[in-house]
Amino acid sequence: MAGVSLYHWEPNANSGKPMLALMEKGVAFTSHYLDLLNFDQHKPEYLALNPQGTIPAMTHGKLVLTESTAIMEYVDEVFPGPRLMPDEPRDRWRIRWWMKFMDQWLAPSFSMIGWNVFVGPAVRSKDPERLKAAIERIPLPERRVAWRKAIYGLFSDDEMKESQRRVAVGIRMLEDALSKREWLASDQYSLADVNGFNLAYALPLSQPKLSNDDLTPNILRWLRAIYARPATKTCWAMGKTAMVKRVAILERPHIGKEPAA
């Protein structure tokens, strides 16, 4: 069978989705770690593969695939191993509903908060001229804007407030869905759970007043159940940054409103 290569950053957000889906399916792949904080995704060798300069991208033989959720669906359909999409059309619809909601509406807000508190501060101290040149090399104008705002601390109060509002709405919706069934969108572990974990694995640390064992017990049960899966453990062990190591909070048996550092 043709080989699989994955170009990814950390097991987090979009990169973590195909990483975890491949590991759940038991598909061997060659990992190409691109350091997002070093702007590896805008280097000519990667742009030759994905001219948009965003990660992840996957190759399967000669085929180049982009868009993390679409890659996960491809992985689930093409490779043997446990199915991550059930057969029942209603379940498939619910899974796709959640993935669209997360990708389009919720994840950009999580991302803005993450870029404000982690990505921006992590690169800000680099040489200013190098940073300016790095921003100019970014192919997508909207990503150029995001980088500029993160590096120079330019996210407005209104933008941050709206992101925080969306995260609060998303937490309520996740808790409600997970109070009705074991997994997010069907009675079996699915791509919606893979997608959701990548978004929410550090919630009790990043949003302790909104998500903890007392307020959102079902979200915490769900996060711990996903973290206990061997594929998740292997996947998150590939993380190199402090951002991803936050997953260890799920090892605590009880997380209150103010988790100790």
Ligand X SMILES: N[C@@H](CCC(=O)N[C@@H](CS)C(=O)NCC(=O)O)C(=O)O
Cβ-based nearer residue to ligand X, 92 or 143: 143
* Span near ligand X by CB under 6 A; candidates 8-16, 90-98, 215-223, 247-255: 8-16
* Residues whose CB is less than 8 angstroms from the CB of residue 131 and which lie 6 or more positions away in sequence, other chains included: 123, 124, 151
Among residues 11, 29, 46, 67, which is the contact residue for ligand X, using CB under 6 A? 67
Number of residues that bind ligand X (CB under 6 A): 13
Considering only the stretches 52-60, 94-102, 157-165, 249-257, report the one whose residues sit in contact with ligand X under the rule CB under 6 A: 52-60
Q: 57 forms bridges with which residues in the sheet?
A: 7, 66
Contact letters (x/-) for ligand X, 153-172, by CB under 6 A?
--------------------
Q: E strands within 34-186?
A: 57-60, 63-66
49 close to 59: Cβ distance less than 8 angstroms: yes
Decide whether 68 or 207 has the Cβ nearer to ligand X. 68
Choosing from 13, 21, 210, 235, the residue that interacts with ligand X (CB under 6 A) is 13
CB of 13 to ligand X, least distance (A): 4
Position 46: which residue type? Y
Q: What 3-state class would DSSP assign to 3? A: coil
Q: Is 65 in the site for ligand X (CB under 6 A)?
A: no
Least distance in angstroms from the C-beta of 180 to ligand X = 27
For Cα atoms 17, 21, 26, give the angle at the middle one, nearest 5 degrees.
Answer: 150
- Contact pick of 83, 92, 126, 143 for ligand X (by CB under 6 A): 143
Rank residues 55 and 203 by Cβ distance to ligand X and give the closer one. 55
Minimum CB distance to ligand X smaller for 53 or for 120: 53
Q: Which two tokens stand for residue 167?
A: 């995260």
Q: Does 41 bind ligand X (CB under 6 A)?
A: yes
The CA distance from 107 to 121, in Å, is 20
Amino acid at 119: V
Give the span between the Cα atoms of 126 and 142, in whole angstroms.
22
Using CB atoms within 10 Å of the CB of residue 160, give its burial: 0 to 12 exposed, 13 to 18 middle, 19+ buried. Answer: middle
Q: By the criterion CB under 6 A, which residues form the site for ligand X?
A: 13-15, 36, 41, 53-56, 67-68, 138, 143
